[in-house]
Structure 1
Amino acid sequence: SDISIPDPMPHGEPLGIDWGISSFVATSQGELIDNPRFYIQSQSKLKWLQRRLSKKQKGSKSYQALTHKISLLHEKIGNQRKDFHYKVSHHLCRQAGMIFAEDLNILGLSKGMLAKHVLDSAPGQFLNILDWVCRKTGTYYQKVDAKGSSQLCPECGADVPKDLSVRIHSCPECQIVMPRDVASGKIIVNRGIAAVEGLAVVKLGVEEES
């Protein structure tokens, strides 16, 4: 039977992570992890194989051979992506006792203008793997509401409106300048810490009453 792993309790260094477009992940500590874009890297080869396939007779040996090659290439891309997700998850867990991630609307993102990017980087799979690695390593993990996180200053809390094309956060109030996704990561970690502190107060109240 499966052995259940208890949820780790909040402890240690907090880290906020923001899934992004220009970088795969940005952290509240300022790290930007490159997105390898495995699907896009293999797209030209896939298109070439699919063009060749379209010229073959269905059911022929050459058609079946090409279908198998395309299937293997898709499998390779999937394996590369999953391996990358595990490596990033372990890398993040080595840095922190608590990890806070944005609670992404994956379905909504996959239907919007970021659909191709979502397909390639698979943030839903990554967050599931990160959750699992956190449990295995004893790292506390929590998703937080990241709504509006890219429009706020993590230092002073001022509203700093910007559209998706603006990749730098520059606050006119406190003059802080940093990559947009890092600023979002800082907002996420601040919200995560606030949620954990609220949880601790609730638990303390329960213990005192009992």
Structure 2
Amino acid sequence: MRASYQYRLKPTAWQAKIIDNTLDMLRCQYNYQLGQRFEWLEQNRCSIDRCSLVVCHIPELKDKPNRFTQQASLTQLKKDRTWYKGIHSQVLQEVPKKVEIAFDRWLKGDANGKRSGKPRFKAKGQYKTFTYPQFKKEHLQNDQITLSKIGTIKVIVHRQIPDGFDIKTVSVTKKSDGYYITLSLDDKTVPTVKPDFDANNIVGIDVGLINFIVTSDNERVSAPKFLRKAERKLKSEQRRVSRRKKGSNRRKKAIKRLGIQHKKVADTRKDFHFKTAKKLLEKYDVIAVEKLNIKGLTKSKLAKSINDAGWGQFITILSNKAENAGLKVIAVNPNGTSQECSSCSSKVIKPLSQRMHNCPICHTNLCRDLNAAINIKARGTHALKAQSMSS
């Protein structure tokens, strides 16, 4: 079983400076190795799409940089730039791995074939995390952690690591309000939770902007709108940044204050998502949700409100918590859930501004969101039966 715990670090001023310098050096190396990849791609491109019968004008292909060749070059890097000796070797070797993942996701796509955007060079301050791929558990004692090349740092252990878990990796992250470590834990003796749920204890939920969720049992959770409520403070902090001279210490302080405000909004939203997911999973065994194209929805005029709601993060948290509890979250086709009548299945076209569902066929009269939630539950029940029959 794998788990991740995150704790806050309390480094001294000197240790904080070492962490900042490490991040900046890793950023430079990331940009250099990413540039090598782009250079290889450019050198192997050719405008000629066919060969002549007499003479072939296509040049010989260059060797493609990969993770292992770029890792091998780090030995010479430490000789040419001796200040890189201040970084633990395994931490430095993680940089080519990050570059390869970003580059391959752009050209080839991930395991599902989904391609990411073109990787960008990172500006100063944009490289925020480095990882120790191996870590000995004895280096974390009580409220102190020992990191190679940095030293022993105070850490706020707000919850104890469960017995039997080994620390596989340690990541150090710089955020707007300080430094954090993330411990990746593993205990092979703890079995993966097998699905054990009552298929009849199912609910459908419809996410929205007025009500965050409406269940098929007509329970509602109002949308908290954390970003909207914090807009005045955010605008004030943004104006403060705009008035400061670029490159000045006062501007850096203003940027830090702005970042803290944004982090506070994000943390509050995430906490709300966890608590909402917990309440649903305590009551239901199976939760049916819509498989929304959130990336497409955020291109509409409602983009700010949709991002503020954070539907994608909520569904991810709900799915992960359900899996850990042996419960089920099932995604269904969202097309027509609001237009289809939940009683007679007839199609009732209505604009988004119309919040009530009035069916002219069976005369069903209920809230638009509740009608959608009931349809989502019905589709989830159907999909669950199809899965059980196929297995």
TM-score normalized with structure 2 length: 0.50
Q: Is residue 134 from structure 1 mapped to residue 322 from structure 2 by the alignment?
A: yes
Q: Distance in 1 between matches of 2:239 and 2:261?
A: 15
Q: Distance in 1 between matches of 2:260 and 2:196?
A: 38
Q: Distance in 2 between matches of 1:105 and 1:195?
A: 19
Amino acid at match of 2:354: V
Q: Is residue 72 from structure 1 mapped to residue 255 from structure 2 by the alignment?
A: no
The equivalent residue for 1:189 is 377
Structure 1 179/135 Cα, relative in aligned 2: closer, same or farther at 3 Å? Answer: same
The 5 A counterparts of 1:8-87 are: 8=196, 11-87=199-275
Question: Between Structure 1 and Structure 2, which shows a larger proportion of strand residues?
Answer: 2
Is the 2:193–2:325 contact (alpha carbons within 8 Å) kept by the matching residues of 1?
A: no
Q: Is residue 171 from structure 1 mapped to residue 359 from structure 2 by the alignment?
A: yes
Is the 2:344–2:362 contact (alpha carbons within 8 Å) kept by the matching residues of 1?
A: yes
Q: Is residue 122 from structure 1 mapped to residue 313 from structure 2 by the alignment?
A: no
Q: What runs of 5+ residues in structure 2 fail to find an aligned partner?
A: 3-187
Task: Please report how far the alpha carbon of residue 201 of structure 1 lies from its aligned counterpart in structure 2 after TM superposition.
Answer: 2.6
Aligned with 1:99: secondary structure?
A: strand
Q: Distance in 2 between matches of 1:129 and 1:202?
A: 27
The equivalent residue for 2:19 is none
Q: Distance in 1 between matches of 2:195 and 2:252?
A: 47
Q: Distance in 2 between matches of 1:90 and 1:149?
A: 25
The structure showing larger relative contact order (alpha-carbon pairs under 8 Å, at least 6 residues apart) is 1
Q: Distance in 1 between matches of 2:202 and 2:260?
A: 40
Amino acid at match of 1:138: G
Q: Distance in 1 between matches of 2:289 and 2:218?
A: 15
Q: What is the aligned counterpart of 1:99 among 284, 287, 290?
A: 287
Aligned-pair identity in percent equals: 33
Task: Please report how far the alpha carbon of residue 10 of structure 1 lies from its aligned counterpart in structure 2 after TM superposition.
Answer: 5.5
Structure 1 114/6 Cα, relative in aligned 2: closer, same or farther at 3 Å? Answer: farther
Task: Please report how far the alpha carbon of residue 197 of structure 1 lies from its aligned counterpart in structure 2 after TM superposition.
Answer: 1.5
Q: Distance in 2 between matches of 1:136 and 1:167?
A: 36
Question: Between Structure 1 and Structure 2, which shows a larger proportion of helix residues?
Answer: 1
Runs of 4+ off more than 3 Å: 3-10
Aligned with 2:224: secondary structure?
A: coil
The equivalent residue for 1:206 is none
Larger Rg: 2
Is the 1:17–1:189 contact (alpha carbons within 8 Å) kept by the matching residues of 2?
A: yes
Aligned residues, how many? 203
Q: Distance in 1 between matches of 2:363 and 2:234?
A: 47
CA deviations 1:86-129 (Å, max 9, x no partner) are 01101111221111000010111111222111210111111000
Amino acid at match of 1:198: A
Cα RMSD (Å):
1.6
Q: Is residue 145 from structure 1 mapped to residue 333 from structure 2 by the alignment?
A: yes
Is the 1:12–1:96 contact (alpha carbons within 8 Å) kept by the matching residues of 2?
A: no
Q: Distance in 2 between matches of 1:171 and 1:92?
A: 30
Q: Distance in 1 between matches of 2:325 and 2:356?
A: 33
Structure 1 7/106 Cα, relative in aligned 2: closer, same or farther at 3 Å? Answer: farther
Amino acid at match of 1:57: K
CA deviations 1:23-82 (Å, max 9, x no partner) are 111111111210101111111111111112211112223212211110001110010010
